[in-house]
Amino acid sequence: MKRTSIVLFAVAILGTSCSIKTHSHVEYTTTNGIGRDGKIWASLWQQRAAEYKALCYQAYNVARLRIDEAIQKKGSKTLAIVTDIDETILDNSPNAVSQSLAGKGFEQQAWHEWTAKASADTVPGAPAFFKYAASRGVEIFYISNRDDKELDATLKNLRKYDFPQADLQHLMLRNSESGKEQRRLEVLKNHDIVMLLGDNLADFSKLFDKLDEAQRDEQTRLQAAEFGKRFIIIPNAGYGDWENALFNYDFKKSQAEKDAIIKQSLRKD
């Protein structure tokens, strides 16, 4: 009887051990991976690092100085600022975290469900800067690649934090193409764009649209004098064309293929 109990106990322990190992394996294969874990780490930095906040404050402090300078040189046209929304003035890292913890990458449906909540927090320094610019008579145009079905929720989220001129006239969402040049040209018809803000190089000029890595580096070097002057960039380690360029803008690549490319791209000692 005693020996039988010992055997049954050992079998139970073995079964429990197998169960734990199987669960651990499933968890690893669904949530692990350089790309997915990288999103978690980038979001952690964005949400918790004082250094991230400092970089945002620094960018918006510089932007305020540039606005003061532009006002002193104002011509006949109304001054305008063109700004991106996501990761420039609104923080969407909770969506990235939820997707990554579920073992998923970006999904359009999940993104729409997130933006529909209109609950994104602000990027540090953003509300104060745009309120200041508007108080100095500068118009704000929000040029975003969100789509039309996100219009109402986007306005609700912007108005939640009293972003100025958050209305149908000043919010310009994606049309038939993701490039923002045509929308910037619309603003230029009646305004002098003195500053552009974004987390992605394509937020500033068509010169940066759909370039490979080497071209992005070269064009950034050529436009170096504009950063901190007309181009104010907000840090975003989570996503952007810097990532898309790694994969040659092939959005059909599997996570395993992306991870392999990342491994090959990294410098090692």
Per-residue pLDDT of the chain (269 residues; tens, 9 = 90+): 444 443 333 434 334 333 333 332 223 233 468 888 899 999 999 999 999 999 999 999 999 999 999 999 999 999 999 999 999 999 999 999 999 999 998 999 999 999 999 999 999 999 999 999 999 999 999 999 999 999 999 999 999 999 999 999 999 999 888 899 999 999 999 999 999 999 999 999 999 999 999 999 999 999 999 999 999 999 999 999 999 999 999 999 998 999 999 999 999 99
In this structure, which amino acid lies at residue 95? N
Q: What is the pTM of this model?
A: 0.87
Q: How far is residue 73's CA from residue 81's CA, in Å, rounded to a whole number?
A: 15
pLDDT value at residue 19: 35
Cβ contacts of 186 within 8 Å, gap of 6 or more: 172
Cβ atoms of 238 and 87 within 8 Å: the answer is yes
User: What is the sign, positive or negative, of the torsion defined by CA atoms of 88, 93, 99, 103?
Assistant: positive
In angstroms, the Cα distances linking 51 to 85, 124, 228, 235 are 21, 11, 18, 10
- Start-to-end CA span in the chain (Å): 61
pLDDT value at residue 32: 60
